[in-house]
């Protein structure tokens, strides 16, 4: 009973991270005076940035509103006027496009490089094999029913998963069996809930103790896909607290947390 309850709690947490930000209002109506600034963060940051934000609040007394979702969906929402103040994308191209569109203070900065790997839930017929040999065998012998990746159309981690599967020569065979998550947090939910036999998710999510308890994980070689260069930027109306958090993310304590969740810092790459 306890194991089932724990699994439900973890999956509920991932479900919250995977929820797209819907029904937002125009900036003039949405931000009341004194309200905390809103950070729109890629879903792979769910656990790491929550921890960094808690440390920021402890040290400064300033609160933040964190929302997690697909980098591509956030990009589209910002173009339409969504009331965000700091955008942390899992793909730097979205930030650079927003800068070119005149939506940001500047072109932002790289804050991390991400990694992907395969996760298989407890009881799966698959093995956590980073070179995907067992996945290839499972496709041939019929063990594989469904497999989860983030939607490559708007999720950077989904595009990198597709590239890795193409590198392994598995894309054509596995495509009919794919279940697409709206973002990488929902993908992790699909991959560990038992509704699929596994999936490709962010190392940063697999590093969380909550998710690690649900399955086995193995890194996919970084050379199998394009780099996950993650960039953040302040939006034009960013208040002081958002600017301070932007700066705080470059400090040693914040970067130590990010590194613990498997992110590679740009200066150490």
CATH of the domain at 231: 3.40.190.10
CB 53 within 8 A of CB 41: no
**End-to-end CA separation in angstroms for the chain:** 44
Structural domain of 121: 115-224
Mean model confidence pLDDT for the chain: 90
Q: Same structural domain for residues 79 and 109?
A: yes
The CA distance from 155 to 172, in Å, is: 20
Q: Specify the DSSP element, H or E, that contains 42.
A: strand 38-42
205 and 139, same domain (yes or no): yes
pLDDT the model gives residue 5: 46
Is 131 found in the same domain as 108?
A: no
Do 79 and 128 belong together in one domain? no
Q: Count up the domains in the chain and report the number.
A: 2
Same domain, 108 and 239: yes
pLDDT (average), residues 194-203: 97
Phi, psi of 79 (to 5 degrees): -60, -30
Flag whether pLDDT at 253 surpasses 90.
Answer: yes
Element (H, E) at 229: strand 228-234
55, 134: one domain: no
| Residues 26 and 109 reside in one and the same domain | yes
What's the CA gap between 160 and 202, in Å, rounded? 10
**C-alpha–C-alpha distance, residues 239 and 37, integer Å:** 7
Whole-angstrom Cα distance, residue 87 to residue 73? 12
Same domain, 94 and 157: no
Q: Which residue has the higher pLDDT, 183 or 10?
A: 183
Give the strand pairing for 65-69 and 38-42. parallel
Mean pLDDT of 125-132: 97
Helix (H) or strand (E) holding 43: none
Is the confidence at residue 125, as pLDDT, over 50?
Answer: yes
Give the pTM.
Answer: 0.87
Which residue would you say has higher pLDDT here, 96 or 18? Answer: 96
| 171 and 119 in a common domain | yes
Looking at residues 223-236, what average pLDDT do you find? 98
Could you tell me if 28 and 86 lie in one domain? yes
User: Is residue 30 packed enough to be buried (19+ CB in 10 Å), middle (13-18) or exposed (0-12)?
Assistant: middle
Same domain, 215 and 245: no
Domain finish residue from 189, 204, 224? 224
pLDDT tens readout for residues 73-83: 999 999 999 99
Nearest of 31, 35, 41 to residue 66 by alpha carbon: 41
Q: What is the predicted pLDDT for the residue at 115?
A: 98
Dihedral sign for Cα atoms in the order 143, 149, 152, 156: negative
């Amino acid at each position: 009973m306890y194991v089932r309850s724990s699994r439900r709690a973890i999956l509920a947490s991932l479900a919250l991270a995977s929820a797209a930000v819907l029904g937002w209002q125009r900036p003039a109506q949405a931000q009341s005076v004194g309200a905390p600034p809103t950070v729109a963060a890629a879903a792979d940051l769910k656990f790491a940035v929550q921890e960094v934000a808690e440390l920021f609040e402890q040290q400064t007394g300033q609160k933040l509103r964190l929302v997690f979702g697909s980098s591509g969906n956030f990009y589209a929402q910002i173009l339409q006027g969504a009331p965000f103040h700091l955008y942390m994308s899992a793909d730097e191209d979205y930030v650079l496009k927003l800068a070119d569109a005149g939506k940001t203070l500047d072109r932002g900065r790289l804050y991390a490089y991400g990694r992907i790997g395969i996760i298989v839930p407890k009881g799966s017929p698959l093995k956590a094999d980073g070179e995907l040999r067992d996945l290839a065998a499972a496709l041939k012998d019929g063990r594989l029913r469904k497999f989860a990746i983030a939607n490559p159309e708007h999720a950077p981690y989904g595009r990198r998963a597709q590239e890795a599967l193409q590198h392994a020569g598995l894309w054509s065979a596995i495509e009919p069996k794919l279940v697409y998550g709206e973002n990488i947090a929902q993908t992790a939910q699909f991959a560990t809930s038992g509704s699929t036999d596994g999936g490709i998710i962010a190392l940063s999510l697999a590093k969380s103790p909550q998710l690690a308890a649900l399955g086995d994980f193995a890194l996919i070689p970084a050379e199998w896909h394009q780099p996950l260069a993650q960039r953040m930027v302040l939006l034009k109306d960013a208040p002081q607290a958002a600017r301070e958090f932007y700066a705080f993310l470059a400090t040693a304590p914040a970067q130590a947390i990010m590194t613990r969740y498997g992110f590679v810092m740009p200066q150490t790459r």
